[in-house]
Structure 1
Amino acid sequence: MKRIFLITLLACSWWATKAQNTVKMETMHADSAAISQILEKLYFKGIYEGDLDLLKQVYYKGTLLFGDVKGQPYAKTLDEYLTGVANRQSPKNSGKPFKGEVLSVRVTNSIAVAEVKVIMYDFVYQEYLSFHKIDGQWLLVNKMISDIAQDASSLTKDKVTKGGKKFNLIATIEILPGFEAAVKKAMVTMAAETRKEAGVELFLINTKKDSPQTILIYETYRSEADFELHKTLPHSKVFFEFVKGKIKDDKIGVNLLTGIDN
């Protein structure tokens, strides 16, 4: 009798464990599917359309973003990232190819990591996105990115062949009286760092002969994306902040150029 009872107990225990494992697996699959849906319907769509309302549904308010872009260190708070999205031309409006792809999602209880690839402008981002389930909702709490465009040689060649047009412009700065020396010194420092950028082919600074307060900058980038990247790099941001109150209307005039042979 005792033997029959023991066998029954072990059988019940085995079935209970199996049932628990089944429920756990089903929950993991459901969570993985939920995260994939968030990425497809909110994350990728928000990036493509430049829709902050969609993106704010994905991110936890304290999210930090780290990585590298075109070989340059990348570090932003969520507010800085969203401000950049708001002020740039969206991939949708740029007319350039865009693709967001979920490569994998791994879930462990209330945490998860998604590996995705985002192709936009002239960048190919490999991303690792950390999620945490907070009050029943999966939120992105940390974002790591790396621009692998140069590694994707076949894709890079295709981009150059189809649409890798150089981006040319002339920037004009009108210095306010009394700030000429300080602004010009800051300009020389920023120009030296700018010329080190991989996407910069020409960055030539001059002043008008009859107007030494006017700075003209001839700039050539490998692509429009390289120009957009230039504006976000630390040496550019330091310069933009420094010249506030020292240049006319706190604005840098930009005239886009098109080569006659294009």
Structure 2
Amino acid sequence: MSQAPASQPAVLTVLQSYFDGRHHGDLDALREVFHPGAIYVCATEDHLTYLTMQEYFPIVASRTPPAANSEQRRDAIETISFAGQKTAFARVRCSIGKRHFTDFLTLIHSEGRWQIISKVFHFDLLENEGI
């Protein structure tokens, strides 16, 4: 695994846009950070959730964004690792309502910019957080 410190600020910018897009329900921001061919996967529940971006974006559009409910942000970047100059992996945490997510985001550098190509995540329910 190689470090690519010159790329780290650009990846951090993408991750912040990801957090902001989720919190505000900003589809334009999310379309910028996700590669059009990205996948969205969760195996937390009894069934596997596997969506394309064309399937995921309408879900985002239909829900009330956390910002509209004045939800406290719980965004955190736990790790970023690089494999060469065009591949990165980020483990991040964030919340929506009573769901606290651990996201594994794989990013690629293509056509002059970084984008998320896969989001595989797990969530826990926060019952006693007062959210």
- The normalised TM-score by structure 2 is 0.88
The 2-side partners of 1:112 and 1:136 are apart by 15
The 2-side partners of 1:81 and 1:135 are apart by 23
Q: CA deviation at 1:67?
A: 1.3
Q: Which residue of 1 aligns with 2:64?
A: 89
1:121 aligned to which of 84, 91, 97: 97
Q: Matches of residues 247-262 of structure 1 in structure 2 within 5 Å? A: none
Q: CA deviation at 1:72?
A: 4.4
Max radius of gyration: which structure? 1
Q: Is the contact made by 1:98 and 1:121 (CA closer than 8 Å) also made in structure 2?
A: no
The 2-side partners of 1:94 and 1:73 are apart by 28
Identity %: 21
Q: Is the strand fraction higher in 1 or 2?
A: 2
Code of the aligned partner of 1:51: D
Q: Deviations over 1:142-197 (max 9, x none)?
A: 11011133xxxxxx3532xx35xxxxxxxxxxxxxxxxxxxxxxxxxxxxxxxxxx
- The normalised TM-score by structure 1 is 0.46
Relative contact order: is structure 1 or structure 2 higher (C-alpha 8 Å, sep ≥ 6)? 2
Q: Which residue of 1 aligns with 2:20?
A: 45
The number of residue pairs the alignment matches comes to: 129
Q: Deviations over 1:79-100 (max 9, x none)?
A: 1111000111001112333321
Give the alignment's Cα RMSD to 1 decimal.
1.8
Pairing 1:135–2:111 present: yes
Q: Is the contact made by 2:98 and 2:127 (CA closer than 8 Å) also made in structure 1?
A: no
Q: Is the helix fraction higher in 1 or 2?
A: 1
Code of the aligned partner of 1:158: N
Unaligned runs of 5+ in 2: none
The 1-side partners of 2:14 and 2:97 are apart by 23
1:57 aligned to which of 32, 53, 59: 32
Code of the aligned partner of 1:120: I
Q: Is the contact made by 2:94 and 2:102 (CA closer than 8 Å) also made in structure 1?
A: yes
Q: Is the contact made by 2:101 and 2:121 (CA closer than 8 Å) also made in structure 1?
A: yes
The 2-side partners of 1:72 and 1:120 are apart by 20
Q: Is the contact made by 2:14 and 2:115 (CA closer than 8 Å) also made in structure 1?
A: no
Q: CA deviation at 1:69?
A: 4.3
Counterpart of 2:64 in 1: which secondary structure?
A: coil
Code of the aligned partner of 2:8: S
Q: Which residue of 2 aligns with 1:98?
A: 73
Q: Deviations over 1:86-116 (max 9, x none)?
A: 1110011123333211111101221110110
Q: Matches of residues 188-227 of structure 1 in structure 2 within 5 Å? A: none
Unaligned runs of 5+ in 1: 1-23, 150-155, 164-262
